[in-house]
């Protein structure tokens, strides 16, 4: 079921990128060149077949002159409704140039799992009674 959700997120990202590219009056080839990615790869992203890395999203955002954070949310890297503390952590991890894209994603996954675990513990009346 998680794969369906990811596919839907990636599809929404692709549709959004296509809309932004049209509004910027850029062809697929022009945007690909400005963002430093290949035409076929960008086409696959727009069609929802590929999930780009945070770095590629940042390059696309810069070329489209839009917020990279908006693309991160659309790609499912950031949660739109998360609190400021969580957003700060995510932004810091994504901005760290000393980490690879894979390392960034692993850190964000671990962080998210800790948050979910703590939220589940906080929500449980049994755990609150024991504390």
What pLDDT does residue 76 have? Answer: 82
Mean pLDDT by 10 residues, the chain (131 residues): 45 88 94 96 94 91 87 79 71 83 83 82 55 46
Total structural domains within the chain: 2
* Residue 78 resides in a domain: no
* Residue 94 resides in a domain: yes
What pLDDT does residue 122 have? Answer: 66
- Report d(CA 105, CA 19) in Å as an integer: 27
* Residue 110 resides in a domain: yes
pTM of the model: 0.58
| Residue range of the domain that includes 20 | 2-67
- Report d(CA 108, CA 34) in Å as an integer: 28
């Amino acid at each position: 079921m998680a794969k369906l959700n990811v596919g839907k997120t990636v599809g929404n990202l692709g549709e959004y990128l296509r809309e932004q590219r049209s509004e910027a009056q850029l062809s697929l080839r022009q945007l690909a060149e400005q963002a430093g990615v290949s035409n076929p790869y960008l086409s696959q992203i727009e069609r929802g077949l590929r999930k780009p890395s945070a770095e590629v999203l940042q390059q696309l955002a810069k070329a489209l002159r839009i917020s990279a954070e908006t693309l991160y949310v659309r790609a499912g890297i950031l949660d739109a409704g998360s609190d400021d503390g969580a957003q700060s952590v995510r932004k810091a991890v994504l901005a760290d140039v000393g980490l690879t894209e894979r390392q960034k994603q692993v850190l964000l996954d671990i962080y998210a799992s800790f948050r979910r675990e703590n939220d589940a513990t906080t929500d449980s009346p049994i755990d609150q009674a024991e504390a």
